[in-house]
Amino acid sequence: MQFDKEFDASGLACPLPIVKTKKALADMTAGKVLKVVATDPGSVCDMAAFAEQTGNALLESSTENGKYVFFLKKA
């Protein structure tokens, strides 16, 4: 999937993947896509909850080489 910006949250534990994803989205314009890579297994549920509550669309949530990969479309 194409993306405009990438944020690597590998090694970070709750709540940093979510809090820093929010920061990564801050300077993006609506419609742009952010790719987030995380190693925290909790981030799978957390990212879905984040997307639902903030209105940023979670386009894809998958696992790649043992890491969790998310694509968020900025609202």
- Under the rule (CB under 8 A), what is the footprint of other proteins? 11-16, 18-19, 21-23, 39-40, 50, 53-54
Surface-to-core class of residue 41, CB atoms within 10 Å of its CB (0-12 exposed, 13-18 middle, 19+ buried): exposed
- Minimum Å gap between C-beta 10 and other proteins is 9
Q: What is the CA radius of gyration of the chain?
A: 11
Concerning whether 45 is annotated as a catalytic residue, the answer is no
- Minimum Å gap between C-beta 2 and other proteins is 25
The active-site residue out of 4, 11, 13, 14 is 14
- Catalytic residues, by residue number, are 14
